[in-house]
Amino acid sequence: MIIMKWQVYKMRIFQQQIYDPLKLYGSRIIGRILGDLNPRPGSNAPIPRSAIKRILVIDRCCIGDLIMLEPALNALREYYREASVELLCIPAIKPLAEKAKLADRVYAYPKEAPYKEAFDLMINFHPDVRQIRMMKLGRSTYRAGFSFSGGARTLTHIIPYPYEEHQVERPFALLEEMYIPVERQVPRLRIFENTKKDPKRILLHPGAKDSERRWPARHWRRLLTLLEEAGYKPVMVAAAEVRKLKNVKIFEGDLLGLAAKIAGSAMLIGCDSMAVHLAAALKTSALAIFGSQKPELTRPYGPFGHYIAPSQPCRHRRRNWRLCANCMAEVRPQAVMDKVLEILENDSKVTERETLSGTEKQ
């Protein structure tokens, strides 16, 4: 019986693709010893809407994570129309979050963290126990989050983390538990909406946090040639992988500048990183190149989000538990080029339908 329980527990740990499995397993062991994996008695009681006047959403992880959180932020603002929805995020995305009006007020972590101020509701959509326990630094009547690696006793509203769902969809489960409807599920950034697109300009974003998540430089060089031969105007977004390339147009600028450039382009091609999520949210065709990780969990979301991945499961010996540089290299430039042509044709029809109908695809 103990062995069977361990097998089930191990499968849950190693099937997720969010954390390092060993660190997650260690956190859950500590949480079980401390009795911090199970909800407190009386949790998830209905919250009177009239009791919520000020909300703080904490997301101090990655730029892409916050972009994918936009529908949840929108749902909070729609449901609590009389409340102030405020956001604590990393400094790099604060200007974009303010311009896109993702919240009524935006704070940069850690210098501007408003932990000394009082809130009626604090929400952390990231299941890391360290972030959940940081919520205790603030003053709040209600605290909502996920049970995954510990910290359950800190929360008044909690559900198991739905790690098998796409990252955009995971917050919806927590909001549903709190009776907060999500009317629009596709991330949208309402900035640079009137920018005219250059149908021939395609942005290439080779950067990614993990080296195993990056496409080889030789593939980028070949894709540049294929795009130019097909009559397109490729522009590389500055990254260490491309600075040494000659006779290549390179964009260098901040996040807001990149968003403006994306809004005026026909497509962005990148790795599994923030740029593809930014493009899809700006209603620009986005193509993400995946290796061994699961595209269904973090692909760019919505009608303008696309991905390409190896046709066969990973069979390589790799250093990273879920990422594989060899799998990335197996995605060939010609296959990406073929996918680009297919996407541009199909997405132009999506844009035309949305323009004629005046509605957004949900």
How do residues 203-254 score in pLDDT, each as one tens digit? 999 998 889 999 999 999 999 999 999 999 999 997 655 555 666 788 888 9
Both 216 and 316 in one domain: the answer is: yes
For CA atoms 152, 154, 157, 162, the dihedral sign is negative
Give the Cα separation of 187 and 196 in Å (integer). 20
* Secondary structure of residue 142 in the 3-state scheme: strand
- Domain with 299 in it: 198-357
pLDDT value for 23: 82
Domain count, the chain: 2
Which residue, 213, 241, 219, is CA-closest to 334? 219
Give the Cα separation of 355 and 234 in Å (integer). 26
pLDDT value for 254: 92
Both 153 and 202 in one domain: the answer is: no
In a domain, 210, yes or no: yes
User: Where do runs of H (alpha helix) occur along 35-143?
Assistant: 63-68, 70-79, 94-99, 129-134
pLDDT value for 305: 97
Both 234 and 153 in one domain: the answer is: no
Domain boundary among 177, 211, 234: 177
Both 238 and 155 in one domain: the answer is: no
In a domain, 362, yes or no: no
Tell me, what DSSP letter sits at residue 212?
Answer: G
Gyration radius (Cα) of the chain, Å:
21
pTM for the model stands at: 0.90
pLDDT value for 134: 85
1, with CB counted inside 10 A (0-12, 13-18, 19+), is exposed
Domain boundary among 146, 177, 208: 177
Both 58 and 127 in one domain: the answer is: yes
Which residue, 269, 272, 261, 299, is CA-closest to 285? 269
Both 170 and 218 in one domain: the answer is: no
Segments of the chain with pLDDT less than 50: 1-11, 359-362
Backbone phi and psi for residue 355, each to the nearest 5 degrees, phi listed first = -65, -40
148, with CB counted inside 10 A (0-12, 13-18, 19+), is buried
